[in-house]
Amino acid sequence: MRRNLSILLFLILLLSFIRIYKISENSMNYSLIAGDIVIVDNFSVGIHIPSFFFYIDKHIYSNEKGIHRGDLLAFRHPLDKRLYIKRCIALPKDTLFEHNKNLYLQIESNSTATLYFAIKNALKTIKRDDGYWLVNPYRKYYDIVHDSRVYAPRELIDYPKTTLAPHEYFMMGDFRDNSTDSRFFGAVNYDYIYYKVRYIIKKSYSLKNLSKLKEF
């Protein structure tokens, strides 16, 4: 009896820090496809009260520095009681907008920092009256998908210029024309971020570590 209780307590503790999810939707094609398995942890981006069939949007220990542009994060949808997995494409103080399905990003809303970031990582920029902007920066690192055959709402084509407040993160699916993400429900508050994806087990059962956009 004591042994069974010890095993149960160990499993509860383990599941508090590491979770395994199976992907069932295609909003992250082709980084994640239906049938892929993801392993997430509850300590890389701060220790969150784990989700055991309920959600308490609070961190026991905060570590926002553990979140990087390009990370895959599991977060509670601000409008319902489900966990979503999307890519973090902008951090607090970043500014972004979309035009004709192209993503434009300004690092910390700072033109000089954006240009420096672009030079360091060999990314494309444009210069406008309001400074330098990265153009579709994630296409260099991930399979960002657009499909002209998909009828997309306006939010998926043009998104207004938006600056993120402290503790806010902008999430987008890699299948940009078929993703319900921050373009619809807004930036995600840090307290809603539960887990970070650490490993992907593809349907072919090959285990690989995730690459991520380099920080400066």
Is 16-205 a domain of CATH 3.40.50.1100? no
Each domain of the chain, given as residue ranges in start order, spans: 16-205
Cβ neighbours of residue 173 closer than 8 Å, sequence gap 6 or more: 27, 28, 86, 87, 179, 180, 181
Output the pLDDT for position 214: 46
Percent of the chain topping pLDDT 70: 87
Summarised one tens digit per residue, pLDDT across range 8-65 is 565 566 677 899 999 988 889 889 998 999 999 999 999 999 888 889 999 999 999 9
pLDDT at res. 17: 86
96-154 pLDDT, tens digit each:
999 999 999 999 999 999 999 999 999 999 999 999 999 999 999 998 988 877 777 88
The pLDDT value given to residue 89: 98
